[in-house]
Structure 1
Amino acid sequence: MGIMSYLRERMGKILAIVIGLALLGFVAEEVIKSGSSIFRDNQTDIGEVNGSAISYNKFNQRLDIATNQFKQQGQSISPQITSYLQETTWNQFLTEKLLGKEIEKLGLVVGDAEIQSMVSGSNPDPQIARQFSDPQTGQFDRARLNQFLTYIQSNKADTAQLSSWAAFVSEVIKSRTQQKYVSLVSNGLYINSLEAQDEYQGKNKLANFKYAVLDYASIPDNKVTPTDDDFNAYYNEHKNEFKNKEELRNINYVSFNAAPSKADSAAIKVQVDKLAADFKASTNDSLFVQVNSETKTPIAYVKKGRLDPQLDSVMFNAEKGFTYGPYLSNGSYKIAKLIDTKVGPDSVKARHILLDPAAEGGLPRAQAKADSLKALIQSGKATFADLAKKFSTDKQSGTNGGDLPTFGRGAMIPVFEDAAFDGKQGDMKIVTSQFGVHLIEIQSQKGSSKVVKVAQVDKPLEASEQTQNAVYNKAQAFLSSLNKDNFEAEAKKAGLSVKNAFDITGTAAVLPGLENARALVKWAFKADKGDFSEEVYPIGDQYVVARLAEIKPVGFLSLDAVKAEITPAVKIRVKAKQLTDKFQSALSGASSIDQVAQKAGTKAVSLQNIVFANPVIPGAAAEYKVIGTVFGLQPNKLSKPIDGVQGVYVVSLDSFVNPAPATNLVREKQTLAQTLEQRAGNQVLEALKDKAIVKDNRAKFL
């Protein structure tokens, strides 16, 4: 709806494409560079990469832009979305800092001629082409791009539009530069014929074998007691798995439930019963909903299956004016009133011309102009398509003669939808919406079904202040009873279960069972081990008191820090030793897998046509060590015991079925090369992260 509207509607999607890159990195660049020393002070740095600071101000600018993009696309900003956006923004800075340094070393640039080719050349950059594509065909629309470029270079384009476009082009250039760097790495990768031959064999060579297994589950956990040596051995073998790239924390907590009481529910029910009587008598249902309903559900015609299930089975068989409820649904008391029923089309194909009242000198003039355009079309002096291209401020549809994709009920704003579905083919109607004045032509209507218009009022079932105060006082009394040593004891005395949240990051907003726990996390990253929370934290309908149980610093974690985490795996290791000993005894004097299985008290299972590239034992799991052993055996030879994922195995190879000799390994080379290229970018970035010195102060700011 005009270039400005086009930008508002599309720019969020445009910028979202380059996620992983810095968004509007150049904004305020000079201000930061020329600012006072405060910008270089650690108190305003949210992080640092190899000595290069990340300013909190710049971080927050990008985070605000990303958040606004989500809002513009109709996304609600939940704690999970906030956490995701924060993490994405952080990774954008890391990518920019790490790759930027490497790109600078190599002197990689995108020249002026290349930029021009990327934007307006015969083959524009895919990010640009994607945004100027025909919505119906999905194909790049050269005319649409040219029209936009002409506009953006004219004196009509305002500063905000120019800034948005410059930001987008800047990010496309950054993306191209990074692509060049990754291409340099990818071009250095090579697949030789031996690797291709191994890949061919791995996917096509078949193995037929028998196996016997003793499941770990055959030994109860309570019968296994690992020794210190068992823990030390496992820890030393897997030490690299316990390297923390960022500081993590564990907490214990108890929660006090402040959900609505029976008395609260009864009180709200009384209010809603009164509303139901008033709603039934109301003569202005739309106003009643706006005044009394919590969610202000739009009143529009809907097909069967689109209402709350409780309503769907009632309203399509009721008479106009019928009121249903109160009933409880999704935590709210609801009342519904049947406003109207009718039979109407399922979908409509229409086109429109949109006029902006501000540009036309006011709403009356815009409506008068719409009447004039309608008269021109009806008299045959002009076509709808020509007038749409000339006058419609909705340029996206205007360039296509005003055509809109076929739409069903619920796809358009109510006033537009009512006009399109209530008329008949060939009708032209003028309606006014929040977007302006529409001249609508109904081109066709398809289908026919009964629809209903239902007005709904809801009242959330919420705890009263009295209930909340009573629960809060209990939580406060528990907090007052705590010292550093009695958290579990006091919880047990109060009949509360102690819950755990492990490996919390500094930017976490959600914890297990706690949806919006950002304040609690911020406390945890300021506290010392053993501290209990300074206050009672209200989270949803819970009041929470917590204790900091563990601090896991950056670097290798100690055995004590991971002991609880690795205990199940260590117990498996101990079981594996016992089951291996059992198989060793069975192997003594045995000449076949069937004899081994019988002596060990299990059965031998035969498998056919197993390939190395898919090391799955049917009905069990992926057993890499087991299948790897099979492909290294000689026929009719018994293997040593193998500690697998599900249990300890002994295998015996019957035969291999070799594939036909590979006559052309080019395809295998290409497939392997493509896989390497796809992984190159991420692996290069991970390698740079591993070598980098990264300071992450986000927990102090967010």
Structure 2
Amino acid sequence: MAILAKIRQRTLVLILIIGLALFAFVISDVFNTNGGGEKQPTEIGSINGQDISYDGFKNQVEYAKSLYQGRQSTMQIVNSLWDQEVNNALITQELDKLGITIEKDQLWNLLITSPNITNQERFQDESGVFVEAKLKEYIDNLEATKNLSPQSMAEYNNWVETERYTIINAKRELYDNLVKAGSIVTVTEGELAYRAENDKVTFKYVNIPYSSIADSLVEVRESDVKNYISKHKSEFQVDASRNIQYVFFPEKPSKADEDTAKQALEEMKAGFAAAEDASAYANINTGTNEPEIFMYKNQLPKEHADAIMAMEEGDVYGPYKVGNRFKISRLLEKRQLPDSVKSRHILIRFAGSTGADPELKKTKTEAKKQADSLLAVIKRNKSKFPDLAKEFSDDTSAAKGGDLDWFNSISSARLTPTYKDFVYENEVGALDVVESPFGYHIIEIEDQKNMQDVVKLATINNEVEISEETFKDLFTEYSKFESDADKDKSSFLDLAEAGKYEVKQANRIKELATGIPGLAGEQREVVRWSFREDTKVGDINRLNVQGGVIVAQLTAKNPAGLSSVAEASARVLPIIRNQKKAEMIKEKYATASTLADLASASGKAEQQATSLSMQAPNVPGVGEEPKVVGTAFALNEGDTSRLLEGKSGVYMIQVVSKTKAPEKDTYLAERNELRTKRLSKALSSVPGALKSSAEIEDRRASFY
């Protein structure tokens, strides 16, 4: 009985232990799956059997994200780092095959000659000379203290990354040097390049364009397209992709939500109109403060500009809608200001002012004193303004005597507020010192024109927000559509038509795509759902997207391989059609042996192309025809060609003259230029060449 009593007392504890054990079992499985029941790999990929750890790759991604601070999307960073990782691994593997490695002493030599390190003050003596011992002491200290704090470990890891990147860059340079060593160009090749550019040929020709035969007269069979694709497989390789169709349900305020926001402002109008301090009243009651500045008519909302310009001081206008906000505005002041202003200035910067040289020591007080002194001189004699600007101004306009030329109501947006207020709100000839974030300006208003009515407004705005009721209605709407479509997967289009919803198609979505046509922002969740193994053609899913919700249906899984006939037809049909037209033209005019014969039979005029080169094979009025021009160089003067199949039509040519460029003593310049081009092409081709012969497993889509 005592034992049973103890068991009863500890029942709750036992239940908790068992529950936690079950939870740990379940959660461990969750963390090892991707949410679809599939095991999540621990490597993001492999290159020729060399695994790339996801954890290490993830750390690189997070570090890059902290550097870019939103200027690049996650997938842009992921794709860039993946390409780097693949290239680095392939180059390292190639060097390993050759027995080339970067040893510790070589790494040290690279570090102590790197400007990124030698230029750091911490590794220099008092005279600014790099001291190798200081670098060694720094590294030893990092190693010894790395476990003392998270910051110490972070500093140590940063240094390890520095060493890693130094090795990577060294390996790249080594491999590039090997490629460069293999890029040989002979002097003879230099001469051939010279000839291709400078030897000239002139020929007469008759051109029968492909457009002279109607497309409807040429039959292109499906088998023709298949044969073409089969002969050009490398040009028609496609990655696996998915097709989806979807209905977008935007999360936007309802008419009732708009009415609520509008009514709130209606109730404020009387108080706003009666307020002694309209600006303070607006600041207290508005959703977003708006600057109280003079505005021209063209700066006001177009549909409300006339009504606002017609107000009297103290009048309140609105509510009126601009974007997703309702507004009411009270007229504070109306006056006339110029549309355009011409001015000149002298800018005196001080330490810490925007754009100031970091070495500038002049204090704000000293800058103000200098500006006041210059102002006094100019007031006594304005003709000195240009010379003083050239001597003392810290602005690029100094070279022009401080002249900033004309600014209008639109371009003046580039001016600082204090500068703009001075030149627009004072009269021609006004001269004074004005402070801005850039320093102190001695400004003179030289001219003004086109006086316009302007208004200064105090504005209260109220953003239209989506109410809880609207969210509920939207949820009911898309949930019903999803449920009905899921019950009968073939009814998606019919249900959308019945509900007057627009169905959008997104075809050929790649596994690493970041966006979906018709939707804003990144849509990786949509893409990942469409590529999940357990997602079948016809499946329906509801997904949150930027600005709302979509109900999507997977309509096709397109495997990797060759393009289908339907997909390739748009590209292939014109090529095959022209090939068939060429045969038809050749057959029709097979008996023509001279230009005169062909011109007479076809009704096409005989023409002449003068001084063409192999480097620039452009037939006047037709376009680039390298095969035709190449044939002309292969013929002797006076010879007539057979019928030639060109890019734009069928030709017959007769060589009039061939002019050989003068011999040169040396073709070293041409050889060097050709070598530079060949090197550039070879180096840029390395990544693609290495990838084409490598076995690469890419699992980015499983993680991002």
Match of 1:171 in 2: 165
Pair 1:693-2:695 in alignment: yes
Pairing partner for 1:668 from 667, 670, 690:
670
Aligned pairs (5 A) from 1:27-38: none
Look up the match of 2:553: 546
Question: Which residue of 2 is the match for residue 360 of structure 1?
Answer: none
TM norm structure 1 = 0.64
Match of residue 521 from structure 1? 527
Deviates more, 1:168-177 or 1:62-71: 168-177
Among 60, 63, 67, the alignment partner of 1:62 is 60
1:106 alignment partner, SS class? coil
Q: Number of residues paired by the alignment?
A: 578
Change (3 A) 1:525 1:625: farther
Deviations 1:214-257 (A, max 9, x none): 33595346x6653343133102211122335xx43130314346
What is the aligned counterpart of 1:681 among 660, 667, 683? 683
Q: 1:581 to 1:682 in 2, by over 3 A?
A: closer
Residue 117 of structure 1 is matched in structure 2 by 113
Which residue number corresponds to residue 230 of structure 1? 224
Preserved contact between residue 214 and residue 579 of structure 1 (Cα < 8 Å): no
| CA distance, structure 1, for counterparts of residue 551 and residue 220 of structure 2 | 36
172-181 vs 278-287, which moves further: 278-287
Q: Supply the AA of the counterpart residue of 1:86.
A: V
SS of equivalent to 1:117? coil
Select 2:513's aligned residue among 508, 516, 539.
508
Aligned partner of 2:85: which letter? F
Question: Matches of 2:317 and 2:693 in 1, distance apart?
Answer: 65
CA distance in 2, matches of 1:252, 1:375: 67
From the superposition, tell whether residues 491 and 288 of structure 1 become closer, same or farther in structure 2 (CA, over 3 Å): same
Once the 2 structures are TM-superposed, how far is the Cα of residue 448 of structure 1 from its aligned partner? 7.1
Aligned residue among 91, 101, 106 for 1:99: 91
Distance in 2 between the 1:668 and 1:674 partners? 10
Deviation at 1:86, TM superposition (A): 2.1
Give, in angstroms, the shift of residue 631 of structure 1.
Answer: 4.2
Instruction: Give the one of 206, 210, 215 matched to 2:210.
Output: 215
Answer yes or no: is the 8 Å Cα contact 2:242–2:531 preserved in 1: no
1:543-622 alignment, distance < 5 Å: 543-553=550-560, 557-558=561-562, 561-593=563-595, 595-596=597-598, 599-600=601-602, 606-617=608-619, 622=624
C-alpha separation in 1, matches of 2:166 and 2:295 = 44
SS of residue paired to 2:185? coil
User: Are 2:634 and 1:637 aligned?
Assistant: no
Q: Indicate if the aligned counterparts of 2:539 and 2:553 stay in contact, CA closer than 8 A.
A: yes
1:460 deviation in Å? 6.7
Q: Distance in 2 between matches of 1:574 and 1:511?
A: 33
Picking from 44, 56, 60, the partner of 1:46 is 44
What is the match of residue 392 of structure 1? Answer: none
Could you tell me which amino acid in structure 1 is paired with residue 242 of structure 2? N
Does the 8 Å CA contact 2:595/2:606 hold for their aligned counterparts?
yes
- Decide whether the 8 Å contact of 1:523 with 1:533 is kept in 2: no
RMSD between aligned alpha carbons? Answer: 5.6
Distance 2:298 2:164 in 1: 44
Alpha carbons of structure 1 residues 594 and 603: separation in structure 2 relative to 1, 3 Å: same
Provide closer, same or farther for how the CA distance between residues 286 and 92 of structure 1 changes in structure 2, counting only shifts above 3 A.
Answer: farther
Task: Check if 1:87 corresponds to 2:79.
Answer: yes
Partner of 1:650: 651
Distance 1:487 1:240 in 2: 37
Any residues of structure 2 matched to 1:357-372 within 5 Å, and which?
A: none
Mean Cα displacement is larger for which, 173-182 or 682-691?
A: 173-182
Distance 1:378 1:292, change over 3 A: closer
Would you say the 8 A contact 2:88–2:172 is kept in 1?
Answer: no
Letter of the aligned partner of 1:515 in structure 2?
Answer: A
- CA shift, 1:503, in A, is 3.6
Give me the whole-angstrom Cα distance separating, in 2, the residues matched to 1:529 and 1:116. 58
Deviations 1:611-670 (A, max 9, x none): 3323445565544445444444555523434152xx433241444443333443222112
Contact 2:367 2:440 in 1 (8 A): no
Partners of 1:275 and 1:622 lie apart in 2 by 72
- Whole-Å separation in 2 of the counterparts to 1:42 and 1:514: 28
Structure whose CA Rg is larger:
2
Q: How far apart, CA to CA, are the structure 1 residues paired with 2:274 and 2:177?
A: 71
**CA–CA separation in structure 2 for the residues paired with 1:583 and 1:350:** 78
Structure 2 CA distance for partners of 1:441 and 1:487, relative to 1, 3 Å: closer
Give the distance between the partners of 1:419 and 1:94, measured in 2 at CA: 59
Contact 1:300 1:414 in 2 (8 A): no
1:123-522 equivalent positions in 2, closer than 5 A = 167=161, 171=165, 174-209=168-203, 210-215=205-210, 218-220=213-215, 226-244=220-238, 247-256=239-248, 258=250, 263=255, 267=259, 270=262, 274=266, 277=269, 283=277, 285=279, 288=282, 292-293=286-287, 299=291, 310=302, 349-353=347-351, 442=440, 465=471, 468-469=474-475, 472-473=478-479, 475-476=481-482, 479-480=485-486, 482-483=488-489, 499-516=504-521, 517-522=523-528
Structure 2 gap segments, 5+ residues each: 1-31, 34-38, 122-126, 142-150, 354-361, 371-392, 398-403, 405-411, 449-453
In the alignment, residue 68 of structure 1 is paired with which amino acid?
S
Please give the per-residue CA displacement for 1:106-159, whole angstroms capped at 9, x wherever unaligned.
Answer: 12464434422322799x7xxx99xxxxxxxxxxxx98999xx99x9799xx85
Cα gap change, 1:236 to 1:220, in 2 (>3 Å): same
- 1:534 match: 541
Match of 1:387 in 2: none
User: Match of 2:676, as an amino acid?
Assistant: Q
SS for the counterpart of 2:542 is coil
Secondary structure of residue in 2 paired with 1:589: coil
Separation of aligned partners in 2, 1:242 and 1:622: 25
Task: Decide whether aligned partners of structure 1 residues 338 and 657 sit closer, same or farther in structure 2, where only a CA change above 3 A counts.
Answer: farther
Where do 5+ consecutive residues of structure 1 fail to align? 1-36, 130-141, 356-371, 381-402, 432-437
Percent of aligned positions that are identical: 19
Q: Given that residues 260 and 467 in structure 1 are in contact (C-alpha distance below 8 angstroms), is that contact kept between their aligned partners in structure 2?
A: no
Partner secondary structure for residue 569 of structure 2: helix
Match of 2:378 in 1: none
